[in-house]
Amino acid sequence: MKFEALERSGLLGAMSDIAREIVLPQGIFYWSGRAKKEAEIDATIGSAQGKTSLFLPKGDDTVRTFYLPSVVERLSALDPEQVVPYAPINGAPKFRAAWRKWIVEKLSEQYEFDQNLISNPITVPGVTAAIAFLSRLFLSPGRTIICHDLKWENYHPILEDSQQLEIATFPLFREGGFDTGSFLSLVGEMLKKQDVTAILNFPNNPTGFMPTIRDAEDMRKGLIEAAEKTGNKIILIFDDAYDGFVYDKDAAGISIFGKFVGAHPRIVPIKCDGASKEFLLYGGRIASITFGFHPSWGDPEQLQKELDNKIGAFIRGSISNCNHGAQIAIAGAIEDGGIAKKERAVIVGILEKRYSALKKALAAADIPGATPLPFNSGFFAFVNVKVEAEKLADHLLKKYKLGIIPHTDAENNINGIRIAFCSVDESLIAETVGRIEAGVKDLS
């Protein structure tokens, strides 16, 4: 975007150095905006949706963004006293306790760890904010953060533009699985000089990839070895926005954060997860920052108090506090004998069917020069293509009325398309792949 009006008016010149440079990328909004107008099948939308008959007992053919009835009913039944007053800076105690219970229950199904090492979650307005606050907590401007090459495009505005960090990437994949070796060697190299912070996002956006437990074990072993070699710390930020949306038994069912709790005194695992996707409440703007403590760090209660203060200062100094009513509604749904869990399972089941249909259709398709990347979870799948991804997206919209998101990153040699199967009805998945195949053939 050009800022000619701001420039002519002199306002651009009056802005801070960061503000003069910062630009809200229009890529995804541009393509989803066009898809809304031009597409018959819209696979650009990153929120799960479909006919209400799929998830409501009295539903019909109306297409809605999926939601959990137990949460939405609680929202509309809130007492003004649960909505009107400010929430405490670090979150409503009821929500923090419920979310902690939710995290411990989920992780316990997959991992062995000492529950006392799980901190009290700190409430923030979305996983986006969790990442922003943590980057400010651990990284001064100019520092580098490690991430896989295929990543959520918003990491650039959050980390690079707003916090002036550099992102050092490693390949997400090697031979059809997580590239543990490249991750460990990048961490090991940087760790020689200073503390290292890495952000890992699984299930991944844009690929829909979740590593296996074996991958997590290899990472843990390698990171412990690396941590032993120096006195520096490894901060692991887990972006678990899509936690639990896993459809393949070979993949870890829940965040691999669980593998790192108490792993080593110099490994600091931090879980960022929230209601946006997990409780299908994107507009509620509620998420959490949860630490995995190490027994050698001392009294967990005192650590909690001091972390609450540090992160509380960032919260108070920016957004002040979070949506109160949403915290109460989510906490109520969690506490209500597993109802939210059951309702979630219905949505996960719908997405699993779409996922299976997409796997099958991609395996059967003959798309010249295309490589579907491994996927087993989340909301998306990613296909690398040889034709120019943006040209393909434009062609698919114009000729085949199909919306997908092109994703390119010249630095990392990425040129592909993201298919949001979370928003495409199962009955249209094969057709979606058929249109992609036809579009690529036209341009090849």
Ligand X SMILES: Cc1ncc(COP(=O)(O)O)c(C=O)c1O
- Residues at the site binding ligand X, with contacts judged by CB under 6 A: 46, 126-128, 152, 201, 205, 239, 241, 274, 276, 282, 287
Whether the ω angle into residue 374 lies within 30 degrees of 0, i.e. cis, is no
Pick the closer one to ligand X by CB: 130 or 191.
130
Pick the closer one to ligand X by CB: 147 or 367.
147
Nearest distance from C-beta of residue 124 to ligand X, angstroms:
9
Residue 73: how many CB atoms within 10 A of its CB? 13
Nearest distance from C-beta of residue 135 to ligand X, angstroms:
13
Pick the closer one to ligand X by CB: 183 or 209.
209
Distances (CA, A) of 397 to 8, 109, 176, 357: 36, 43, 30, 22
Tell me the H-state helices in 199-323. Answer: 213-229, 275-278, 300-316
Output the DSSP codes for 93-128. Answer: HHHHHHHHHHHHHHHHTT----GGGBPPPEEESSHH
What b/e sequence results for 99-114 when a residue is b if at least 16 CB atoms lie within 10 Å of its CB, and e otherwise?
A: bbebbeebbeebbebe
Pick the closer one to ligand X by CB: 135 or 201.
201
Nearest distance from C-beta of residue 67 to ligand X, angstroms:
15
Are the C-beta atoms of 382 and 407 separated by less than 8 Å?
Answer: yes
Q: How far is 224 from 412, CA to CA, in rounded Å?
A: 28
Q: How far apart are the first and last CA of the chain?
A: 31
Closest CA to 106 of 115, 95, 93: 115
Pick the closer one to ligand X by CB: 226 or 383.
383
Q: How far is 97 from 24, CA to CA, in rounded Å?
A: 35
Nearest distance from C-beta of residue 151 to ligand X, angstroms:
8
Pick the closer one to ligand X by CB: 227 or 329.
329
Nearest distance from C-beta of residue 152 to ligand X, angstroms:
4
Q: How far is 134 from 291, CA to CA, in rounded Å?
A: 11
Pick the closer one to ligand X by CB: 239 or 343.
239
Nearest distance from C-beta of residue 12 to ligand X, angstroms:
28
Nearest distance from C-beta of residue 46 to ligand X, angstroms:
5
Coil vs helix vs strand at 135: helix
Nearest distance from C-beta of residue 19 to ligand X, angstroms:
22
Q: How far is 242 from 276, CA to CA, in rounded Å?
A: 9
Are the C-beta atoms of 87 and 323 separated by less than 8 Å?
Answer: yes
Pick the closer one to ligand X by CB: 263 or 327.
327
Q: Which residue type sits at 23?
A: V
Pick the closer one to ligand X by CB: 30 or 297.
30
Nearest distance from C-beta of residue 205 to ligand X, angstroms:
4
Nearest distance from C-beta of residue 285 to ligand X, angstroms:
7
| Residue nearest ligand X (C-beta atom) | 126
Pick the closer one to ligand X by CB: 358 or 440.
358
CA dihedral 60, 62, 65, 71 (to 10 degrees): -40
Whether the ω angle into residue 203 lies within 30 degrees of 0, i.e. cis, is yes
